[in-house]
Homo-oligomer: A and B are copies of this chain.
Amino acid sequence: MDNINKKEFKSTFIKYIEEKGLRHTKQRDVIVDAFFSAGRHITSEELFNIVKKKYPEIGYATVQRNLNLLCKCSLAEEIKIGKQKTRYEQKYGNTHHDHLICLQCGRLIEVNDDKIEKLQEKLAKKNNFTPVKHKLEIYGICAGCKSK
C-alpha cells in the first residue's frame, strides 16, 4: 500500500527528470526515497542527516538542490512558518489541506474544509481574481498543550 504510493511518487519524479533531460543519479535515488519515507514536514537539514546515513559522501547542496527539484515537479512544497527554517511537505497523493499551527509546541495539524475552499473561490471571483492556489494557516493552542 505504502509501497504503491512510493512507486507512484518515484515514477512521477523519474518522469519529470526524463522530460527535462536531466539525469538519474544514485544521490537522487537516495534523496527521493528518504524524502518519501521521512515525516510529512521535514527541513533540508533533517533530510541531509538522514540521507548521510545511507550515503555518507553526500553534500548538503545536493540535498537542497533535489528538494528544490521535488518542489518544481510538485512532489514537495515549501512551508515557511514564522522564523523557522523552510520545511518541505510531501504533496503526492495528498489532497490540498490547511494547517493548524500550535504556537506553543509548533505542531502542525493538517485539516480540510470544503465549504471554506468553495467560499475562497467565490471571494476571489468577486474580486475578478483567478485563484491558482492558497494557503490557510490557523495559529493557536493545540489540544495537547491545553491539557498541560
Q: Is A143 an interface residue (CB 8 A)?
A: yes
Report whether B123 and A113 are in contact in the complex, using a CB–CB cutoff of 8 Å: yes
Report whether A100 and B129 are in contact in the complex, using a CB–CB cutoff of 8 Å: yes
Which of A98, A111, A116, A120 is most buried by chain B, counting CB atoms within 10 A of its CB?
A116
What are the residues of chain B within 8 A of A133 when measuring CB–CB? 138-140
Given known pairs A100-B129, A135-B135, the reply for A123 and B140 (CB within 8 Å) is no
Q: Is A124 an interface residue (CB 8 A)?
A: yes
Report whether B140 and A131 are in contact in the complex, using a CB–CB cutoff of 8 Å: yes
CB distance from A68 to the nearest CB of B (A): 12
CB distance from A19 to the nearest CB of B (A): 23
Interface string of A58-89 (1 = CB under 8 A from B): 00000000000000000000001000000000
Report whether A111 and B128 are in contact in the complex, using a CB–CB cutoff of 8 Å: no
The CA of A91 and the CA of B146, in the complex, are separated in Å by 28
CB distance from A122 to the nearest CB of B (A): 8
Q: Which residue of B lies closest to A147 (CB)?
A: B128
Report whether B143 and A138 are in contact in the complex, using a CB–CB cutoff of 8 Å: no
Q: Which residue of B lies closest to A112 (CB)?
A: B123
Residues of A within 8 A of B (CB): 80, 98, 100, 102-103, 109, 111, 113, 115-116, 119-120, 122-124, 127-143, 146
**Top 9 A-B pairs, shortest CB-CB distance:** A128-B143, A131-B140, A134-B138, A132-B140, A130-B141, A136-B136, A130-B140, A135-B137, A100-B129
